[in-house]
Structure 1
């Protein structure tokens, strides 16, 4: 296949039954036409063979600076969130720019090989040298033609609770961070957590940055910093630019409180990221039986009209030993864990790893299969959302600005046992 794609034929589009052909000129979609019949391919076009042409996958929550460090120097034996933080604190002094770049680029290659073109990475800035942050800024520039990368200044050990935490956050922004993070439930006191949330929103307002907070990532039903974040975002009129990641404590909130909380959340219009595979692994660790899932109320948030997307969170790091960059795996796990298997929910399930992520990252202007937009897309095995999820197949093609990032052929079965079934 040529490096540049100029035409795709026999493609399906999400929510549409007929076949389509798409033409690309100078890296943008120039024509999108429905087909009345199947077309024969020639040397100058890509035959989608009835498979789904979809906007690229969005990874809205990953920790590239910690990826591929599981077991270095010690394993997280309890499997808990807090031991993960302890193990990372042991690994952090061993960081070098070369170490961070090597692991991050390997992980990005894994994500790109699985259809991801947009990534938001949280980078630990509770490091006086900001080694990982500086390395990630260099990587962002290096890969800008292949991947849209957003960098979150993430205070893993707190803003108020870590020495010079505020100064390090501000320095990270000056060095090139795109998003301001937080971790209020890990601050020493509730007062520190509340102060940190108001400070984060004020700083974002002043600097024009986005916000993405690790918010209430704990089973404790008394962790209620989400209401503080949402209120501050509402007062600052910047809810669409604010994201609450994890919010796993919501799993433990009583329904009366949630009824009140959801009124605020809908008014604030903030976004949500859930990391179902990691949350179901890390949460519920203090339970005997019954054990809670520890995943935020994804189904209810979506039904309330709020934007929710799924992320992997970790790939082989102190918090999560597995992970392979396959967001379809995360989606499959998430819809099971969140009781979202109704057909009406399955019909648009890819929203959780595509459109909703684009909205959360605020890249909607360049995202989507529409005339005049950049020709960024992937081809997935299956004709629609449901079939893609059922097949759990590979990404067959990934194209960015009309240029091929990856191409692979569908898996071919060489032999198969034939069964004769007699009635």
Structure 2
């Protein structure tokens, strides 16, 4: 073997597992592996996971916080207006530099696959060109999937559909949309139909910003599910945000959930941003805004979590940590049962990998040896601690490493250090 990782704990709860890696892929997972590796790593019982996957992000806007000014209201609509002001000032070099810097953060966090929406409403398609270049540069260590996103509306913005076609021809991977931002509900539904038909013709996946609103009558997810079934796009379509579902009538949702499940449409919630941007017109009680994650899961719908924004016109926080996203999702959705917490971990690993159609992802023989060793004893503990990534591996090669999370104590008759683990280790164990 090229590499053997010893004594790993896996996200499914198995312990004492050895992982044999050869030619960049997992060759074997078993207890007490007899084969030796040219290199060996002792996981010491820590969690070894497939890498984190961000199913929804905006890399063309990342790290642009404060340009051209700060979003004073903190609202979605001011963020969109700010982005419109910034677009004429964008340069390709600046877009590439900011995106590359964020990709460095992502790798350090064990985030090795990102689906990013890229605005195509600028006729210059500067952001598209920039992110295609970024995708080329990071390909050896990070999977970057691009969505052609008509931020200003595919029908509302003149020339947007032509720009989307051009972006796809240039190599963008996925068809995007934003039906709730069209001028009328009817135009929103029409945009869903047109975009899904285009995706079906081109053999592409679809990922639409859908119903990112507190309006319970914003029901474009219904149209998206219908068009997915009509056009045979099952398993290739995702609805992102779906925040209006938080405000919908329960009877209507009881009909909507089976429709989404039957259509094979996946849901992508963005806990950090949904809790921040939604409910802005409420006094009290104030809506949380995030879509009905436990109910969607119970109906058999794939649900992933996305980061959505980091230091951009919509959100002045973030650092590329998908465990922070899972942590927020767990709390907002009140998913504090043991199995529910594990589902939150899956929502930033296995489920988004499935939605993106990532080849060779997982912890099985034959999968790519893309792995993260975390300073935690389980998936749930990893979320609780937003655990340090001890090691990040891409195709069996270490690409990032981090220090352990330990604090030194100077107290009488108490341990000399703490590591915040449920079963704390003594210093000499390392």
Same fold (TM over 0.5): yes
CA contact (8 A) 1:349 1:385 kept: no
- Aligned residue among 21, 26, 29 for 1:24: 21
How far the C-alpha of 1:383 sits from its partner, in A, is 2.0
How far the C-alpha of 1:213 sits from its partner, in A, is 0.2
How far the C-alpha of 1:295 sits from its partner, in A, is 0.6
Matched ranges for 1:14-413 at <5 A: 14-35=11-32, 44-363=39-358, 365-413=359-407
> Aligned with 2:163: secondary structure?
helix
| Cα deviation digits, residues 140-183 of structure 1 (max 9, x gap) | 11111101110000000000000111111101100111000000
> Aligned with 1:239: secondary structure?
coil
| Cα deviation digits, residues 30-75 of structure 1 (max 9, x gap) | 1211139xx9x99821111100111100011110100111111111
> Aligned with 2:187: secondary structure?
helix
Distance 1:348 1:189, change over 3 A: closer
> Aligned with 2:139: secondary structure?
coil
CA contact (8 A) 1:123 1:152 kept: yes
Partners of 1:203 and 1:42 in 2: CA distance? 49
Partners of 1:112 and 1:123 in 2: CA distance? 20
Partners of 1:55 and 1:109 in 2: CA distance? 18
Partners of 1:131 and 1:386 in 2: CA distance? 41
How far the C-alpha of 1:419 sits from its partner, in A, is 5.3
Distance 1:419 1:219, change over 3 A: farther
TM-score (norm 2): 0.93
How far the C-alpha of 1:5 sits from its partner, in A, is 6.3
CA contact (8 A) 2:52 2:112 kept: yes
CA contact (8 A) 2:120 2:149 kept: yes
CA contact (8 A) 1:5 1:46 kept: no
How far the C-alpha of 1:123 sits from its partner, in A, is 0.4
How far the C-alpha of 1:416 sits from its partner, in A, is 4.3
CA contact (8 A) 2:2 2:22 kept: no
| Cα deviation digits, residues 229-248 of structure 1 (max 9, x gap) | 11000111212100000010
RMSD of Structure 2 on Structure 1 (CA) = 1.8
How far the C-alpha of 1:409 sits from its partner, in A, is 3.2
> Aligned with 1:9: secondary structure?
strand
| Cα deviation digits, residues 74-93 of structure 1 (max 9, x gap) | 11111110010001101111
Matched ranges for 1:406-421 at <5 A: 406-418=400-412
Large movers: runs of 4+ above 6 Å? none
Partners of 1:351 and 1:418 in 2: CA distance? 42
Equivalenced residues, count: 414
Partners of 2:97 and 2:253 in 1: CA distance? 43
CA contact (8 A) 2:3 2:37 kept: no
CA contact (8 A) 1:348 1:385 kept: no
Partners of 2:402 and 2:69 in 1: CA distance? 37
Distance 1:35 1:14, change over 3 A: farther
Distance 1:24 1:18, change over 3 A: same
> Aligned with 2:345: secondary structure?
helix
Distance 1:5 1:293, change over 3 A: farther
Partners of 1:208 and 1:17 in 2: CA distance? 39
Partners of 1:129 and 1:78 in 2: CA distance? 29
TM-score (norm 1): 0.95
